[in-house]
């Protein structure tokens, strides 16, 4: 009995540590490339190294951390190829989700989704806009009634979050992205699955192109241009 309680406590502690680190990675406190040392993390959270090691393994499974045999755990730093792969997979999964969601949309759901777009249009806070953007997509996909599919999409979106946060920092929300959200919703309301699928693919492709330019640009190029508007799918 004592052994079972010990395992339960360790498992709970690992989940708490993983949750804390996940939040810090996703809000940019721990940027891509940051090295996470077991002993330092254990001291900071007041736990042993065992749950920290298990938390690292969990975050690696989520794509947020890479465990290097020589450097230990490192916050994942994507290449442009990684980014393209993420978005190509998302296009397939999110297209399926939106097509399956259309038959289940009801007037109250449409009102909720319209409200989210209105709130995105009104906010000037890029990070707030990003949260509303996630809410819009995931609430729409939830009507597909395919929880495993939505879980896969959510995991991919979470894995993209750290460098999306890097991209949106200091950038105004994108009016064009809000128009794209409206086009997606309008196609869903009409029951036009083909148009909705085309709209979501174009929306994600545009976001991927913006992020690829951001990751592939040099610091000199970034500083020479006006900040681009936030546009993350």
Closest CA to 205 of 180, 233, 186, 179: 233
Report yes or no: 132 and 123 within 8 Å, Cβ to Cβ.
Answer: yes
Question: Under CATH, domain 80-224 is a member of which superfamily?
Answer: GntR ligand-binding domain-like (1.20.120.530)
More confident residue, 183 or 124: 183
pTM assigned to the model: 0.70
End-to-end CA distance of the chain: 48
Q: Which residues pair with 67 in a beta bridge?
A: 73
CATH tag, 2-75: 1.10.10.10
Cβ pair 31, 75 in contact under 8 A: yes
Write out the two tokens for 204. Answer: 């994600």
Q: How many C-beta atoms surround the C-beta of residue 83 within 10 A?
A: 21
Chain centroid to Cα 231, Å, comes to 13
What is the spatial distance between Cα 19 and Cα 88, in angstroms, rounded to a whole number?
A: 27
pLDDT greater than 80 at residue 211:
yes
Q: How many CB atoms lie within 10 A of CB 65?
A: 25
Residue 113 in contact with residue 139, Cβ under 8 Å? Answer: yes
What is the rounded distance in angstroms from the CA atom of residue 223 to the CA atom of residue 97? 38
Over residues 41-59, the mean pLDDT reads 93
- Domain positions in the chain: 2-75, 80-224
Model pLDDT for residues 110-130, shown as the tens digit of each residue: 999 999 999 999 998 887 898
Task: Give the per-residue pLDDT at 228.
Answer: 53
For residue 153, count other CB atoms closer than 10 A to its CB: 21
């Amino acid at each position: 009995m004592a052994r079972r309680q010990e395992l339960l406590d360790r498992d709970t502690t690992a989940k708490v540590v993983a949750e804390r680190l996940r939040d810090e990675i996703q809000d940019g406190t721990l940027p891509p490339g940051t090295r996470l040392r077991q002993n330092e993390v254990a001291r900071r959270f007041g736990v042993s190294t065992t749950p920290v090691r298990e938390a690292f393994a969990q975050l690696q499974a989520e794509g947020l951390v890479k465990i290097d045999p020589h450097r230990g755990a490192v916050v994942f730093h994507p290449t442009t190829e990684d980014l393209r792969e993420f978005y190509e997979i998302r296009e397939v999964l999110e297209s399926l989700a939106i097509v399956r969601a259309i038959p289940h949309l009801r007037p109250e759901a449409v009102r909720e989704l319209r409200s989210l777009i209105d709130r995105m249009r009104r906010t000037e806070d890029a990070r707030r806009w990003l949260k509303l953007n996630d809410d819009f997509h995931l609430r729409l996909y939830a009507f597909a009634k395919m929880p495993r599919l939505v879980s896969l999409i959510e995991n991919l979106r979470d894995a993209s979050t750290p460098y999306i946060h890097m991209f949106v920092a200091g950038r105004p929300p994108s009016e064009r992205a809000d128009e794209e959200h409206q086009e997606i919703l309008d196609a869903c309301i009409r029951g036009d699955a083909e148009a909705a699928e085309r709209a979501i693919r174009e929306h994600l492709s545009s976001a991927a192109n913006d992020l690829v330019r951001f990751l592939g640009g040099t610091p000199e190029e970034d500083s020479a241009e006006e900040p681009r508007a936030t546009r993350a799918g």
